[in-house]
Structure formats: structure tokens, C-alpha cells
């Protein structure tokens, strides 16, 4: 009888990818994905350590799950609870100590050993032992041990090509939770991409903590490929119509990648390129190893290569020691670059990172005031960018049903959500949509009518669309 696996995912797209692969890892062992923790045999919290109070949120969720586990025991069912991801890597044994209901704790680099961990956890639960903890950084890459995908990932899906970080930004825990930079061999990436396309995927987003630092073994011959070369090879896969990548570091934008944006139509004209601050003094304190002007030059090079390229970014306000002038410099950079979207946060210390010991904290009220001002500017730019799409016809990949009957929601080339009335048969397909209006966070449109033969005129407009 099949067992139920429920995975709750926090944080970044890398965690989303990891969660899908955990399901693949457990499928040969009789576990099917479930929609609820209530009747699950194995519950996994795949955690993120980037956001503020991430650890506290995990422990709060574990308290709720303990009640579920106790109820399952009263019904004669054995339920296992696991904590995975970056909080698991950072907290390790502390999770097992503070939350005795947890049966297994494992980091981002060890989930390929999940079946073995489950067996050990079951043995320990029968003998009254404590939970199993595995937060090592194994010498062999986990990708070498993962099974092939057990099911379709959908029309748009993630593909991890690079993990870890060697940059050591002073505010960031990733080098400590994900380890050193590692790039998968290009042949392995291409093989997985071909399987995804065969299962119905038409858009792939390449993932990495520093994805444009990719330096995988070449698919043929010796040497390595950078991300630009990998994108060119992926674009040759028949049926793969869209390629994206995230998240990038300005230091790793090279000529080959810029040329890929110029030459490859399958590479979508939208790039998330975090800068974090517009102040050189703060960028130095963050150990970003680039200046604000260097970032501006990178933006200019990319726009020269592809003029319709739109950008998003990340910003931290209130970093230790940030002055009013530092913040003014950030606002100036935002105005000069012009973003389609951006994520912005108040600085919060992460235990174990160098910035946590810097002192010179910015008062919370000042952080809040600066964040409001920054978000108002970014919000205005996003509204203007969306409004500028009005009247255009965009190829939209419909991914899901909307909130209204007969409505589908998809994404255009520039990552904007697009709502349009359309039949379900267009789900998973790329369809021309005329944009009727731009809103703060989305676009609304109508499926474009192409062709006007007598036969086509007998069909509703949505049915006359070509995908």
C-alpha cells in the first residue's frame, strides 16, 4: 500500500527544485506525494535560512506537526517528521534537541540519502531513540545519486545546474549552508533537460546560488563550459522554447553570457541581477567585490546586447553603518537603472555571518522609513513597466487556471503574470495574447486572433489562437 509524503517548501526556487527531487528519491520506495500533512506518513519541512526569524517559524510549524504526529499515533499510524534545507544545515543537532518530535534532520547536500535516513529513523523510533541528523558535506555530488525524474514537472520547470557559493558576502549564510560552488557536468544537465522536455516542459529555469558562475565539465571534449555556452546547447533541444536562469552575481557576467542574450531568442529578455546597495562604501562592507558603477556598466553592456532586456534586483536597506547618503546613493542607482521588479528587505543579522558582529546598527525606525521610500520608488517603476506593455502582443505560457471561471494565468517573456479568458486546452502552451491593461503586479489581456479564414471565423476567438 502506497505511503504518503508531504513536503512543505520555504524560500528560494532551489528549494522548490530540491523538494521535487525528494519526491523522486522516495517514489521507488513506495511514497506518493500528498496534498496535506494530515494523513501523511512522512512530512518534510524544506527550510530557508535567508529570511528573518526563519528558525522561529520552523519551530512554530514543528509544534503544530507534533500534534498531528500524536494524533496519528493514537490512531495506530506511525508518522515521521523531517527537517531539510538550510535551517537544518545551520541548526543540526539543535533541532533534534529542541523538537523531539523530529525524526530526521538533513541538509541540502544529503537528501539523496533520504531513503536510508528514513529507515534509520524508523528503527530509532521503534527503539525510543533520538532523531537522525545528517548535515555532512559529502565528497561525492548528490546529483550522481539522484534517480531520473519520476513524473512531469509541468510546462515550466526548474533545473539545478550549480550549487553553493564562494563569494562570502558578509550578510549571507549560503556558503555555510550550501557549501562551496559546484557545477554539474554539462552532459548531465542536457540529459535532464531532454527528459524534462520529453515529459512536456517547454520552459526551463536554470538554478544556482550563483548560477552564472557555472563552470561545468564540457559535454564533449575537454575543458569546461560557462553558463553562456550551456544556454546555447540547451537552445538546440527540440521543443525547449524558453530558457531563464537565476540567481546571478554581477561579478560573473562574462562576454559569453552577454553574447548569449544577444544571439539566442530562447533566452528570455528578463534577468534577476542583485546589487544589494548603490553605495560603494556599503558594497565594500558587504564584501560584494563590485562597485555601483561597475554594476551600471554591466547593465549597459547587457542592454546594448539586447535592448528589450528587463531587470530585477535585490536590495538590503539598513545594513550596519548605512548613512543617509548611502541610502541616497541606492535610490539614485534605482532611478538610473529602472527595474521591472525588485525585492527589498530590512537588514537582519544572521548568526554566524561576519555582518552580525559589525555593530553600528541602524535604528529600526530608520530602516522602516528607508524601506518604504525604496519600495515606493520600485513600485512606481514596476507599474510604469507593466503599463508600457499595454497594446503589445506577447507570447504567454499559460500555466494554471485563474480565479474566475474560464480564465487562465500565464507568464510573458518579461516574467509578468498575464490573465486572459481562454479554454483549458491552452494550458501548457505558448499563446499570443494582446495586452489590454497593465496593473501593479500583473497584466490582463485577450488571446490574439490570428488568421481569418471562413472556417476560423466560426470559432470563438480563443479557439482561433495558435500556440
Tell which residue, 174, 227, 205, has the closest CA to residue 350.
Answer: 174
| Cβ atoms within 10 Å, residue 73 | 11
CA angle 268–229–14, rounded 5-degree value: 60
- What string of DSSP letters covers 384-413? HHHHTTTT-EEEEEEEEE-SSTTEEEEE-T
The three three-digit cell numbers of residue 65, written as one number: 506537526
Tell which residue, 113, 254, 197, 200, has the closest CA to residue 428.
Answer: 200
| 393-417 per-residue burial string, b: 16 or more CB within 10 A, e: under 16 | ebbbbbbeebeeeeebbbbbbbbbb
Mean per-residue pLDDT over the chain, rounded:
90
> For residues 56 and 100, is the Cβ–Cβ distance under 8 A?
no
Q: What does DSSP say about strands 42-47 and 3-9: parallel, antiparallel, or unpaired?
A: parallel
**The pLDDT value given to residue 460:** 45
- C-alpha count within 13 angstroms, C-beta hemisphere, residue 367: 16
Residue 290 three-state SS = coil
Q: Which residues of the chain have pLDDT under 50?
A: 451-467
- Looking up cell 491552452 gives 426
Q: For residues 29 and 104, give the distance between their C-alpha atoms in angstroms, rounded to a whole number.
A: 17
The three three-digit cell numbers of residue 395, written as one number: 507570447
CA dist list (Å): 4 to 28, 40, 45, 131: 13, 5, 14, 20
Largest CA distance in the chain: 75
**The pLDDT value given to residue 462:** 44
Q: Which stretches does DSSP call E strand in 85-202?
A: 104-106, 132-134, 156-160, 162-163, 182-183
Tell which residue, 289, 294, 379, has the closest CA to residue 334.
Answer: 379
Tell which residue, 19, 15, 23, 339, has the closest CA to residue 208.
Answer: 15
List all residues 6 or more positions away from 171 whose beta carbon is below 8 Å from its beta carbon.
Answer: 286, 316, 319, 347, 350, 353, 355
CA angle 180–182–185, rounded 5-degree value: 170
**The pLDDT value given to residue 459:** 38
For 148, phi then psi, to 5°, come to: -65, 155
Tell which residue, 352, 448, 345, 442, has the closest CA to residue 393.
Answer: 448
Amino acid at each position: 500500500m502506497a505511503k504518503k509524503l508531504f513536503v512543505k517548501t520555504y524560500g528560494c526556487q532551489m528549494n522548490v527544485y530540491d523538494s521535487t527531487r525528494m519526491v523522486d528519491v522516495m517514489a521507488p520506495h513506495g511514497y506518493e506525494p500528498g496534498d496535506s500533512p494530515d494523513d501523511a506518513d512522512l512530512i518534510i519541512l524544506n527550510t530557508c535560512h535567508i529570511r528573518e526569524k526563519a528558525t522561529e517559524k520552523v519551530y512554530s510549524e514543528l509544534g503544530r506537526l507534533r500534534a498531528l504526529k500524536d494524533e496519528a499515533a493514537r490512531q495506530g499510524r506511525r508518522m515521521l517528521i523531517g527537517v531539510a534545507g538550510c535551517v537544518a544545515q545551520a541548526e543540526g543537532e539543535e533541532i533534534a534537541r529542541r523538537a523531539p518530535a523530529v525524526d530526521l534532520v538533513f541538509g541540502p547536500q544529503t537528501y539523496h540519502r533520504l531513503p536510508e535516513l528514513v529507515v534509520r529513523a524508523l528503527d530509532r523510533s521503534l527503539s525510543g531513540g533520538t532523531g537522525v541528523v545528517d548535515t555532512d558535506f559529502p565528497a561525492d555530488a548528490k546529483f550522481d545519486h539522484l534517480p531520473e525524474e519520476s513524473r512531469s514537472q509541468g510546462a515550466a520547470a526548474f533545473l539545478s545546474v550549480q550549487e553553493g557559493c564562494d563569494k562570502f558576502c558578509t550578510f549571507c549564510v549560503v556558503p555555510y549552508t550550501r557549501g562551496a560552488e559546484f557545477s554539474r557536468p554539462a552532459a548531465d544537465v542536457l540529459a535532464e533537460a531532454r527528459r524534462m522536455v520529453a515529459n512536456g516542459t517547454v520552459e526551463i529555469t536554470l538554478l544556482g546560488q550563483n548560477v552564472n558562475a557555472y563552470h561545468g565539465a564540457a559535454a564533449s571534449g575537454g575543458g569546461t563550459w560557462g553558463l553562456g555556452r550551456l544556454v546555447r546547447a540547451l537552445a538546440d533541444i527540440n521543443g525547449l522554447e524558453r530558457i531563464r536562469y537565476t540567481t546571478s552575481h554581477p561579478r560573473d557576467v562574462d562576454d559569453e553570457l552577454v553574447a548569449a542574450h544577444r544571439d539566442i531568442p530562447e533566452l528570455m529578455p528578463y534577468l534577476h541581477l542583485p546589487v544589494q546597495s548603490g553605495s560603494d562604501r556599503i558594497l565594500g562592507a558587504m564584501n560584494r567585490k563590485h562597485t555601483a558603477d561597475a554594476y551600471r556598466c554591466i547593465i549597459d553592456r547587457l542592454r546594448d546586447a539586447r535592448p528589450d532586456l528587463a531587470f530585477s534586483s535585490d536590495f538590503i536597506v539598513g545594513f550596519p553603518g548605512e548613512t543617509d547618503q548611502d541610502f541616497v546613493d541606492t535610490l539614485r542607482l534605482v532611478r538610473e537603472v529602472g527595474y521591472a521588479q525588485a525585492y527589498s528587505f530590512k537588514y537582519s543579522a544572521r548568526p554566524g555571518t561576519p555582518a552580525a558582529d559589525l555593530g553600528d546598527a541602524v535604528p529600526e525606525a530608520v530602516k522602516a522609513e528607508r524601506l518604504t521610500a525604496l519600495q515606493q520608488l520600485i513600485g512606481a517603476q514596476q507599474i510604469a513597466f507593466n503599463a508600457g506593455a499595454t497594446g503589445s502582443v506577447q507570447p504567454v505560457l499559460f500555466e494554471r487556471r485563474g480565479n474566475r471561471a474560464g480564465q487562465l494565468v500565464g507568464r510573458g517573456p518579461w516574467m509578468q503574470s498575464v490573465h486572459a479568458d481562454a479554454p483549458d486546452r491552452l494550458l501548457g502552451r505558448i499563446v499570443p495574447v494582446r495586452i489590454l491593461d497593465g496593473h501593479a503586479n500583473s497584466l490582463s489581456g485577450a488571446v490574439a486572433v490570428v488568421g481569418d479564414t471562413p472556417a476560423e471565423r466560426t470559432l470563438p476567438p480563443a479557439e482561433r489562437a495558435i500556440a
